[in-house]
Amino acid sequence: MSDPRKANGVLASSTLAFTVCFTIWMMFGVIGIPIKNALHLNETEFGLLTAMPVLTGSLIRVPLGIWTDRYGGRIVFFLLMLSTVIPIWLISYAHAFWHFLVLGLFVGLAGGSFSVGTPYVARWFKKERQGLAMGVFGAGNSGAAVNKFIAPVLIASAGWTLVPQVYAGLMLAAALIFWLGSATDPSHQVSSDTRFMDQVRMLRDPRVWRYCQYYSVVFGGYVGLSLWMVKYYVTEYGFDIRHAALLAACFSLPGGVLRALGGWLSDRFGAYQVTWWVMWVCWVAFFLLSYPQTDFVIQTVGGPQAFHIGLNPVLFTILLFVVGVAMAIGKASVFKFISDDYSSNIGAVSGIVGLAGGLGGFILPILFGLALDLTGVRSSCFMLLYGTVCISLVWMHFQFRREYPQTSSVAPAAPVTSDAA
C-alpha cells in the first residue's frame, strides 16, 4: 500500500506541473490574436495556428502512456517538461507563419503530460479513490483559464513576445518543483517481461474506441473552445482582448477545476450514468449557443414589426459556463471507465483515449475557422459541436440498449460497474 503522505505529495506536485503544462499548451489561444493581426491571417489559418501544439500533444500521448507504464511517471514527466523549455522561448523570436507552426509542434509536447500524470497519480491511490484523484489531477486543465489571466496582462505591458519568455521560465521552475515534490514506486511499473506489442494489442478492445469517442467530445470540445473563445468575444461582442480573456475564463476555469467533482460523482454514481447526463446538458446548451444573431421583420395588422433574436454577452457567458461544468465532469467520468476496466494498463489506454481527445482539440479550431470563412456565421462553431454531441447520444443510447436491453436507456437503474463499460 502506498504511503499516504507520498501519494498526496505526488498528487499535489503533478497537478501543479500539469496546470503549467496546460497553460503553455493553450497560449496561442491568446497570443494568436495579435499574431493573426500582424501576419494578416484568415480564420482558417488562425485555427491552424492555435491547433498546432494540440497536434503533437495528442500524437505523443500513446508512447508517453506506455513509457510511463514501463519506466515510471516521475522521470518521464520531468524530462518531458524540460524538453519544451527552449522551443517555448524561441517563439518570441518567430516572425513568419511557418516559424510559429513548427515551434508550435515542439511546444505541443507539453500537452502529452496528461497521459503521464494520469497513470502516475492513479497508481498511488486505492481503486475507490482513483476517480477523485484523477479528477483532482485533471483539474490542471484550468491552465487554460490561467493562460487567459496571465497572457493578456503580459501583452498589455510589453507585447506578445514577453509571453513565451515568461512561460519558458515558468515551465523550468515547475519541472524543478515537480521533481522535488514527487516520488517513485518501482511496483507501479509494468514488469520488464511485458512486451511493447502486448501493451498495444489490447487497444483493439472496442470499448477503448467507445471511450475515445466520448472523450473527443468532452475534452476535444473543451480544448477547441478554450482556443477559440477569446477571439469569439472580441469579434462577436467587441470586447478588448483583456476583457474577452476574462469572460472566456468563465468557461475554461470551471471546465478544469471542477474535474475533481466529476471524479467524485463517477465514484459515487458510476461512469456511464454521469457521462450520459453530461452529453444531454451539452446537447441543450449547444443548441441554444448555435443560434446566430438574427434580425427579421414580420407584417402585422399595425404594419411592419422588427424583431431581434440572439444571445447577449451575459446569457452567452452563462451558457458557456454550464458547458464548462458539464465538460469538466465528463472528462473525469470517461477516465473512471478506464481506471475500472484497465487498472493494470492505465497508461497505454489513457494514451490512446487522450490521443482521440487531443485530435478532436486539434481538428475543431481548424473546422471552426473553415466554417466561419465559408458561412460568415460565427456561431457555426457551436453548430459543429451540437452535431458531435448528437452522434454521441445516439451511439450511447443504442450501445447501452444492446448491452442492457432490460434497463431504461434514459438513465441506468444503478451505478454501472466495469462490465457495463
The cell for 125 is: 491511490
Q: Which residues of 193-224 are buried (b: 16+ CB within 10 A; e: fewer)?
A: eeeeeebeeebeeeebebbbbbbbbbbbbbbb
4-185+203-295+308-420 falls under which CATH superfamily?
A: MFS general substrate transporter like domains (1.20.1250.20)
Residues in Cβ contact with 11 at an 8 Å cutoff, skipping those fewer than 6 apart? 121, 124, 125, 133, 136, 137
The burial class, CB within 10 Å (0-12 / 13-18 / 19+), for 96 is exposed
pLDDT recorded at residue 409: 42
pTM of the predicted structure, to 2 decimals: 0.79
pLDDT above 90 for 313: yes
Share above pLDDT 90 across residues of the chain, in percent, rounded to a whole number: 45
Over the chain, what is the mean pLDDT?
84
Q: How far apart are CA 404 and CA 208, in angstroms?
A: 19
pLDDT recorded at residue 386: 93
Mean pLDDT of 261-269: 82
Among 17-31, 207-221, 253-267, top mean pLDDT goes to 17-31
pLDDT digits (tens, 9 = 90+) for 205-219: 777 788 888 888 898
pLDDT digits (tens, 9 = 90+) for 84-100: 999 999 999 999 999 99
Label residue 416 by pLDDT band (50, 70, 90). Answer: very low
Which is nearest to 214 in space by CA: 266, 139, 290?
A: 266
pLDDT digits (tens, 9 = 90+) for 130-189: 777 877 887 888 888 899 999 999 999 989 999 999 999 999 999 999 999 888 877 666
Q: Which residues pair with 295 in a beta bridge?
A: 308
